[in-house]
């Protein structure tokens, strides 16, 4: 399969390129290095050193005996995008090329607009470019479980049956996003559904939970294949941050009570699920939604696991409950489905403890690299 990865230089994109190449697929990629610049803008770094793109590309070619075709461009450049799709004629496009941070989008008006413009217009350009250049390709687009919010009923996969005043229909499940970033993903989802219905594009929209981890089952033993691991308040996600905090002996920052619950999945599972979706494409005109996570956990439960594993490795971690900088429900019902991927062969296992231990081992060798950035562990962006 010829797969184009948008956002190939990112936390998921780079290991996905390796994952697919190891399975024999041809991989090409697009990136504008916005993530590298945004983490720099936060005054932070990746906890694990990452190679620049030229070194990544030469490691890729040496390992898989074929080059990775790469284009440096933003999805906001529509003409360039059409030209790339016309040249590559991909069988599938994995769209990871967005600003992924809720906190970044809540910094101020400028970052809110930047996030929505980049994500919504970039994705809209992609839909139009696919229509023009490769209407038969499969778009595998990354959405987020956060699009649904935390409703007081179970969360189906994208659609549910509704009976209202004696009539029934299958309708999109309500989206109640909790940040400007999550709203950008909601807007993307609506546009994607429209494009499938109107232009006959084939689209899988993955509502992914929070991903954690430093490596995958298919990461070659060469540091140029390492993916980034962020810990700043915008680009570091809960478990990744807790691991980095434990390594430099900073308290693990639970926002509020820690009872808030989300779906989480290790990096390997994320890539395995994306591969399953690629191997089982939807029909022309079909827009399908997969909820993608391994298990749900409360933030407190996660912090306890990191504390326990860090302590076992000789790094006694402390937990601190901070006033929650976000406007989010802390005590809530949470029961999302995730059956579609299981039907395609995904086997969720509880890997949390094992993966956290591996992460702590991978990160602790970089302790002195992270320590000067300890101030990046504290949140400062207020939702309200
Ligand atoms: N949290 C803490 N302490 C921290 C960091 C986070 O208690 O130091 C809490 C937050 O309050 C929140 C939960 O952990 O309740 C998750 O926060 P997060 O920063 O790990 O993740 P989130 O902002 O939801 O966004 C991340 C990714 C995003 C993806 C999303 C999936 O950045 O790209 O879409 O996870 S989901 O959460 O399912 O929407």
Q: Is residue 13 part of a domain?
A: yes
Residue 101's pLDDT band (cuts 50, 70, 90): very high
Q: What does the pLDDT average to over 349-365? A: 97
| pLDDT > 90: percent of the chain | 99
Distance CA(105)–CA(187), nearest Å, equals 15
CB-based pocket (< 6 A), ligand 1: 100-102, 144-146, 209-210, 237-238, 241, 253-255, 260, 262-263, 299, 326, 328
pLDDT on residue 138: 99
pLDDT of residue 169: 98
- In this prediction, residue 168 carries a pLDDT of 98
- 305-319 confidence digits (pLDDT tens): 999 999 999 999 999
- The answer to pTM > 0.95 is yes
Active site residue 11: no
Q: How confident is the model at residue 80 (pLDDT cuts 50, 70, 90)?
A: very high
> Is the residue at 316 inside a domain?
yes
Non-local (6+) Cβ contacts of 223 within 8 A are 49, 51
Q: Among 237, 270, 290, which residue has the most ligand 1 atoms within 8 Å of its CB, making it the best to mutate?
A: 237
β-strands 26-31, 69-72 pairing: parallel
Q: How far apart are CA 134 and CA 136, in angstroms?
A: 5
Known catalytic membership, residue 334: no
Q: Report if residue 268 sits inside a domain.
A: yes
382 inside domain: no
CA of 60 to the centre of ligand 1 (A): 31
The residue nearest atom 26 of ligand 1, judged by CA position, is: 210
Q: 366: CA distance to ligand 1 center in Å?
A: 24
Range 148-153 average pLDDT = 98
Mean pLDDT of 60-73: 98
Q: How confident is the model at residue 141 (pLDDT cuts 50, 70, 90)?
A: very high
With cut-offs at 50, 70 and 90, classify the pLDDT of residue 45. Answer: very high
User: pLDDT, tens digit, for every residue of 219-239?
Assistant: 999 999 999 999 999 999 999
Q: Is 384 contained in some domain?
A: no
pLDDT of 81:
98
Query: What's the CATH code of the domain at 55?
Result: 3.40.50.720
Query: What's the pLDDT at 110?
Result: 98
From the CA of 256, give the closest atom in ligand 1. Answer: 7
Please write the tens of the pLDDT for every residue from 369-384. 999 999 999 999 999 9
At 48, the pLDDT band (50, 70, 90 cuts) reads very high
Domain of 189, in residue numbers: 2-377
Total domains in the fold of the chain: 1
The predicted pLDDT at position 92 comes to: 99
Residue 383 lies in a domain: no
């Amino acid at each position: 399969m010829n797969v184009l990865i948008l956002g190939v230089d990112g936390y998921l994109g780079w290991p996905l390129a390796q994952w697919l190449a190891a399975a024999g697929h041809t991989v090409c990629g697009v990136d504008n290095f916005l993530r590298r610049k945004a983490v720099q803008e936060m005054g932070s770094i990746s906890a694990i050193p990452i190679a620049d793109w030229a070194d990544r590309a030469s490691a890729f070619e040496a390992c898989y005996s074929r080059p990775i075709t790469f284009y440096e461009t933003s999805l906001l450049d529509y003409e360039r995008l059409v030209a790339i799709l016309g040249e590559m004629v991909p069988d599938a496009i994995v769209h990871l090329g967005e600003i992924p941070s809720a906190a970044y989008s809540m910094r101020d008006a400028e970052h809110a607009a930047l996030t929505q413009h980049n994500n919504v217009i970039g994705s809209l350009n992609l839909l139009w470019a696919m229509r023009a250049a490769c209407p038969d390709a499969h778009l595998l687009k990354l959405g987020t479980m956060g699009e649904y919010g935390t409703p007081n009923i179970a969360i189906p996969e994208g659609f549910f049956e509704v009976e209202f005043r004696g009539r029934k229909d299958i309708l999109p499940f309500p989206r109640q996003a909790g940040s400007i970033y999550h709203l950008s993903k909601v807007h993307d989802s609506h546009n994607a559904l429209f494009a499938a219905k109107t232009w006959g594009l084939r689209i899988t929209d993955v509502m992914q939970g929070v991903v954690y981890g430093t490596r995958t089952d298919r990461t070659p033993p060469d540091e140029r294949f390492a993916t980034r691991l962020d810990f700043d308040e915008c680009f570091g996600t809960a478990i990744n941050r807790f691991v980095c905090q434990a390594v430099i002996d900073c308290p693990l920052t639970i926002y509020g009570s820690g009872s808030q619950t989300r779906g989480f999945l290790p990096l390997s599972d994320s890539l395995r699920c994306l591969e399953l979706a690629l191997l089982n494409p939807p029909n022309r005109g079909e827009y399908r939604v997969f909820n993608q996570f391994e298990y749900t956990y409360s933030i407190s439960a996660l912090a306890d696991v990191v504390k326990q594993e860090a302590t076992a490795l000789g790094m006694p971690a402390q937990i601190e409950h901070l006033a929650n900088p976000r406007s989010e429900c802390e005590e809530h019902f949470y029961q999302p489905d995730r059956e579609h991927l299981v039907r395609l062969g995904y086997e969720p296992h509880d890997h949390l403890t094992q993966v956290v231990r591996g992460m702590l081992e991978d990160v602790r060798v970089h302790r002195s690299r992270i320590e000067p950035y300890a101030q990046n562990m504290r949140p400062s962006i207020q939702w309200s």
